[in-house]
Amino acid sequence: MTTLRRILSEKRRLIWPLVVVLVANAAVFALVVYPLARKVALGEQDADVAMMALTNARRDHANARATVTGKAQADTELQTFYGDVLPPDLSGARRITYLPIDRLAREASLRVERQTFDTAAIRDSDLARCTLTAVLTGEYREIRRFIHQLETRPEFIVIENVNLAQNENETSRGITVTLQIATYYRSGGHGN
């Protein structure tokens, strides 16, 4: 008999319970512990995915809230602009475009050759545009001073076009400037 067989036959009472315990341990691991460990790992993955989804949802909610707040603020600022900055109607628009040209031209020592006035509704809007085209004659520095005074006025005026031409006639010297300015006003229910 070999040594191993002799040990197994003599220590059979100790070895069989150890073998049974090892087989039972392997069976418990294979049938209980391993499947539970896989379920836990899958549960952790699901929890990570859910946490990422929650983080994304919170970020989207914060972005949506910021958009709503920004839109409300923009609406408030737009109403302030319409109410406080833009002229209320056509007569107000004429007042801030037509009247200052004569006064500012006199202050800048310019001569007003002619002025034309036009209004136009803006498509898909409740705003209308009031445009004034003026032809002025004078020296370059006077024209610069006039444009500066016009630009720094508190009213909402847009200088849309400036054309300069040198006068070489014997009757008129200096520069002729054709200036197109515009302002906007609320038409329809809020103005004329």
Domain residue spans of the chain:
1-85, 90-190
Give the mean model confidence (pLDDT) for residues 11-31. Answer: 87
CATH of 90-190, one of 3.30.70.60, 3.40.80.10, 2.30.33.40, 3.40.50.150: 3.30.70.60
- Whether 191 shows a pLDDT value over 50: the answer reads no
Helices (H), the chain: 3-10, 12-28, 34-80, 90-107, 140-151
What is the pLDDT, as a whole number, of residue 24? 92
Banded model confidence at residue 148, pLDDT cuts 50, 70, 90 = very high
pLDDT, mean of residues 52-62: 95
The average pLDDT across 110-125 equals 90
Rounded distance, CA 176 to CA 168, Å?
A: 10
Sheet bearing 173-186, strands edge to edge: 111-121, 127-138, 173-186, 158-168
pLDDT at 192: 42
Whether the pLDDT of residue 82 is over 50: the answer is yes
Q: Does the structure show a pLDDT above 60 at 189?
A: no
* Cβ pair 96, 102 in contact under 8 A: no
6-15, 47-56, 62-71, 77-86: least confident range: 6-15
The share of the chain scoring above pLDDT 90, in percent, equals: 54
- Check residue 170 and give its pLDDT: 59
Q: How confident is the model at residue 188 (pLDDT cuts 50, 70, 90)?
A: low
Q: Is the pLDDT of residue 190 over 50?
A: no
The residue type at 12: R
pLDDT at 187 over 50: yes
Supply the pLDDT for residue 158.
92
What CA–CA distance (Å, rounded) separates 7 from 118?
A: 118
Report the sign of the C-alpha dihedral through residues 20, 21, 25, 26, in that order: negative
pTM over 0.85: no
- Provide the pLDDT confidence category of residue 65 given band limits of 50, 70 and 90: very high
Average pLDDT over residues 92-119: 90
